[in-house]
Each structure stands twice: as C-alpha cells, then as structure tokens.
Amino acid sequence: MKVLDNVPFRLNLEEVKRELRLNKKKSSSINVQELIKEAESLIRARSVYRVSYIDKKGKDIVRINGVAFSSRVLRVNLEKVERVFPYIITIGKELEDKASQSGDLLKQFYLETLGDMALYSSMQHLEKHLKSQYGLDKLANMNPGSLKDWPITEQKLLFSLFQDMEGQIGVKLTENMLMIPRKSISGIYFPTEVNFFSCQLCSRERCQARKAPYDKNLREKYRLDDE
C-alpha cells in the first residue's frame, strides 16, 4: 500500500471562472482570486493505492488479491490485464465543513465546485504517478456505483484491500457505503489500449460529471441489459 500525502495542485483562475460560469459581470461582483486562495488553504489532497494482481477470472467475476468483484464490465475490461491499481483519493473535510457552515448559498456552491475540481486534479496526479512509476502508456478506471453493473455495495470489498484508511488518509466508509469526507473517490485503475469511461455505458441525461458521451453500441458490446 502506497500513500501520496499532500498531493500538489493549483486551481487555475480561468478554469475556475469557466467552471463556475462566471461572466465579466459576475466576476466583478466577487473576488475570485480570494475565493481560490481560501479553497486552496482548506484542501489537503491525499491518495492511497495498492499494486494488486488478479488471481482468478470467472463469469462476470474478477478476484483481485483474494477479493472477488462482481461486474461484467470490469471482467471484460480486465480480460488481458494481470496487474491493477485499486485506489482511494480524498481532499479532506475542511473545505466541505467550511461550505456547510457558510450562510451564503452561492459561496457554498462555489466552494463545493472548487472541491470537485481539486478532487479531479488529484485523480489526474495519481494517474500521472502510476504511468511514470510503472511505465504505463494508458490507464482507465472504474468506480463502484458508477454503473448498475458494478453497484455501490462493492465499495466495501474495495476498501477491504486496504487497512486503516481513516488513520492513513482520513477516509471512512459508512454502513450505506458512502465515504466520509464526501469529497473522496475510490476505484480501480487498470492498463488499457483503448479509452474507457463508465459514462459511455450510462444513458442518464444532464449529468454534470459526464466525461464521455453515451455509446449504445458499446453497451451492446458489453451485453448489458437496458437500465
């Protein structure tokens, strides 16, 4: 198990304005740079990952380090893979505490959005680290709960691959399979020859977190039932 503490990141001013949908009029009404400075002071990004190996592949099941995950999509994606990288990432609880305590709903939204940006930046940092450290050209990842095919209940199995996450990076899993702090994400990175995003298999419309368009043909390739 490897821990990356104090993951470096910087919020880009123009990217923040674009993400917050701030035009010139709105930008002049708030101090964006001060908002960024406040958010950066509250964020402590940390990651943990484990170099893991697949020890069995069954029908719609993949066993990783003795833990059996049930997912047709994961099984297909790992068909030619032997080594994977389960991970957990968080930006800590300070920013979400500050947002929840704010009496200004707009500022609360801004801080929450900057937290999402920091979490995504932390994922990019981990991906670059894995590529550099293990000589990998391309990686994809899947997250429990992102698809009906791999339900959120599998989150507990993923956490079982690690030890003392609360002590290591301050993340704990509730009985409802939710991570605390909320600005946390878990999943499995794996080598791939083609780009893959779970979004390609999800037909839900108006999803702000969408990274790729829905691909009906890809769903048919994975032989998934309609959701």
What confidence score (pLDDT) does residue 198 get?
63
Which residues partner with 186 through β-bridges? 88
Residue 176 covered by a domain? yes
Token pair 């990783």 in the structure block, residue: 64
Residue 160 in any domain: the answer is yes
How many whole angstroms separate alpha carbon 213 and alpha carbon 86? Answer: 25
- Residue 205 belongs to a domain: no
Give domain status of residue 204, yes or no: no
pLDDT in tens, 155-173: 999 999 999 999 999 999 9
Residue 210, token pair as written in the block: 């969408």
- Looking only at the bridges linking them, the beta strands covering 46-49 and 83-90 are antiparallel
pLDDT value at residue 118: 94
Is 22 inside a domain boundary? Answer: yes
CA atoms of 62 and 59, how far apart (whole Å): 8
Cα torsion 2, 147, 91, 54 to 10°: value is: 0
- 115 belongs to a structural domain: yes
pLDDT higher at 26 or 153: 153
In a domain, 113, yes or no: yes
DSSP 150-207: B-GGGHHHHHTTSS-HHHHHS-EE-TTS-EESSSEEEEEEEE-SS---GGGG---SS-
For residue 191, the domain's CATH number is 3.40.109.40
* Domain coverage including residue 176: 2-49+84-195
pTM of the model: 0.85
β-pairing, 61-64 with 52-58? Answer: antiparallel
Sequence-ordered list of residues with C-beta below 8 angstroms from that of 153, at least 6 positions apart, any chain: 144, 177
Q: Give Dmax over CA atoms of the chain in angstroms.
A: 58
Report the mean per-residue pLDDT for the chain.
88
Q: Are 4 and 126 in contact (CB under 8 A)?
A: yes
The total domain count for the chain is: 1
Does residue 144 have a cis peptide bond before it, meaning omega lies within 30 degrees of 0?
Answer: no
Please report, as a single letter, which amino acid is at residue 177.
M
The 10s digit of each residue's pLDDT in 184-222 is 999 999 998 756 666 666 666 666 566 667 667 766 767
Q: Quick one: average pLDDT of 59-84? A: 94
